[in-house]
Amino acid sequence: MAGLVGIWWVWLAVAIALGVVEVLLPGFIFLGFALGALAMAALVGLVTSSMTVAMSLAAFAALSLLAWIVLRLAFRRQSSGARRVMHDIND
């Protein structure tokens, strides 16, 4: 496993797999993990320093959490345009 976390295309494959899981099971849960894995693919591809397995998994967890928070904030701002009715028509 130590060799696999240092290969960028493995992280890309994980990101694609998590994206497919998100499409099959919608709920914006796996999308944060997919974006975290995509960021890890970029990080491993650009940074040539040797990261340990623990450091790689910690970076993946942090990037996934960050992506999930950003997605949560982005989708919260969108409104469906529905009106909220705060009183009954018979009042």
| Residue 17, pLDDT score | 96
Question: What is the rounded distance in angstroms from the CA atom of residue 72 to the CA atom of residue 64?
Answer: 12
Determine the pLDDT at residue 80.
65
Please give the backbone phi and psi of residue 43, each rounded to the nearest 5 degrees, phi first: -65, -45
Residues 60-75: pLDDT tens digits?
A: 999 999 999 998 888 7
Q: What is the DSSP letter of 29?
A: S
The structure tokens listed for 39 are 């960021």
Residue 69 tokens read as 């928070």
Q: Specify the amino acid at residue 34.
A: A
